[in-house]
Structure 1
């Protein structure tokens, strides 16, 4: 790509994808392969009677806390397993797409940790209902676009947003959770990712990696300039040609942090779902 020294705008001319198998240890993907296999075993995710999650599910029914956690764990596993399919099975390292997948893994793992971390049941249930309120609002926005030109039967089939929110408030208030707490806007992604950090010394690094992956997912220029590019030759008329390549080490570190976040989320889920390890 070319970059004008006096102007941050640049034009993409081409990128390079190195062979990752030469520098990324295959053992890095052992856990995600194991987790991907676990996805097909429904019993491996079952909530045991008497566990913390069993109580959460009863309070929040039909918006079960365990279902929200499972859905996001499966998504995180799926995205990180896709990284393994690219880097190992296909032996390629896409310049940008790898970080889009890693970002999705990080975010979904972080939501699970944020959801299940509180020691008290009312707070876990509140967060679950808050997630569902956000989901209902997003669904309503999308369906409004889809149903704008639909017939009355299709429009009637979609539950009104106000009805869903009222149901959520009723579930919360039955357990002493004020409706206004459920209506609260969800924390931003940065706050959720930061809250999911179990290791304080990794907090800034993890948050930086998430921001980097997010920026690459949205084609922001700064990570390409700072982390992926090296100048090629001298500038010509103020334009510098850059060689853009994802360092295998950077992909390895990012994947390792995402995998660690997912491991923490899965361990927390297992702690909450098993009666013998309820916390």
Structure 2
């Protein structure tokens, strides 16, 4: 058992080294994803200022930032090669990385241009929907609110409603130009469970395993007692004690990092193909600009 634990710890150290290497790739800068004449450049031309390449670049930046944060959380700065294993902390950012990288992969995945544009428009509509929901919550009134506060909230709601209508109308116009069915765009994204499952083809694993991994990580970011006990290392004080130290299971962390890392690499590969820039892919040719 001890040898197995040591092997898992070594695997975790190796994963953190891979994250450091990923940070050095393109210096972590995901700009100019769409070279002239590429598929992605043609997609961007139909999206106006809501270019797919910008959205993908944002997703990749979010994913990398979250992976970097996970590395900083897990590496002990006071011990060379040492690790820290918080009970929960790293899983929140690994979930962020997995979702961002899976979304980037999902956006670039289809060979069909109309389907790619449809997914890009769904993502943009999802932003509008959630921005609207946030504004609605922020401008909610309570029974004891003063009249001037209620009036101010109502004014902000009217202004927000106008902006939301304009943004949705713009997206509907883009959809019509791109030949995308409006009914597909209006609901926004299908949710990260389906996105992860559909994108899993690009990392070569079963959709059920990919979605299950995402759901497992998501569960660890919530205060679920059963999920924490099920997926953590529990070290009882002694055989008769009911007191225990709960830390993250290194094997679960490795599993979570692998999911995020593989989706990130897949997104880079697809970005290199769609954008016509081979240097985007991890392990691709070295850019002449470096």
The verdict on a shared fold, with TM-score over 0.5 as the criterion, is yes
Distance verdict in 2 for CA 1:206–1:179, change over 3 Å: closer
* Cα pair distance change 1:275/1:108, threshold 3 Å: closer
Q: Tell me, in whole angstroms, the C-alpha distance in 2 between the residues paired with 1:201 and 1:25.
A: 21
Contact 1:23 1:248 in 2 (8 A): no
What residue is the counterpart of 2:229 in the other structure?
225
Aligned to 2:273: 271
Gaps of 5+ in 1: 1-17
Q: What corresponds to 2:169 in structure 1?
A: 166
- The aligned counterpart of 1:83 is 70
Shift of 1:80: 0.7
What TM-score comes out, normalization by structure 1 length?
Answer: 0.79
Whole-angstrom distance in 2 between the partners of 1:180 and 1:97: 39
Q: 1:93 aligns with which of 81, 85, 93?
A: 85
Which of these residues, 207, 210, 217, is aligned with residue 206 of structure 1?
210
Q: Pick 1 or 2: higher relative contact order, CA cutoff 8 A, min separation 6.
A: 1
Q: Verify the 8 A CA contact 2:132 2:164 in the aligned structure 1.
A: yes
CA apart distance, 1:40: 5.2
1:186 aligns with 2:212: no
CA distance in 2, matches of 1:43, 1:83: 20
Q: Which moved more, 1:36-45 or 1:171-180?
A: 36-45
Partner of 2:97: 105
Greater CA drift, 184-193 or 66-75: 184-193
The answer on whether the counterparts of 2:91 and 2:217 sit within 8 Å (CA) in structure 1 is yes
Q: Could you say which residue in structure 2 is the equivalent of 1:215?
A: 219
Which residue number in structure 1 is paired with residue 287 of structure 2?
Answer: none
Unaligned 5+ residue runs, structure 2?
78-82, 141-148, 280-290
After superposition, the C-alpha distances for 1:49-92 in whole angstroms (9 at most, x for unaligned) are 01111011001112111111111111111101111112225442
Counterpart for residue 288 of structure 2: none
Contact 1:229 1:242 (8 Å CA) reproduced: no
C-alpha separation in 2, matches of 1:22 and 1:252: 9
Contact 1:21 1:88 in 2 (8 A): no
Q: What are the within-5 Å matches in structure 2 for residues 15-164 of structure 1?
A: 23-38=10-25, 45-88=32-75, 90=77, 91-146=83-138, 149=149, 150=152, 156=159, 160-164=163-167
Question: TM-score scaled to structure 2, two decimals?
Answer: 0.76
Instruction: Give yes or no for contact 2:60–2:101 (8 Å, CA) kept in 1.
Output: yes
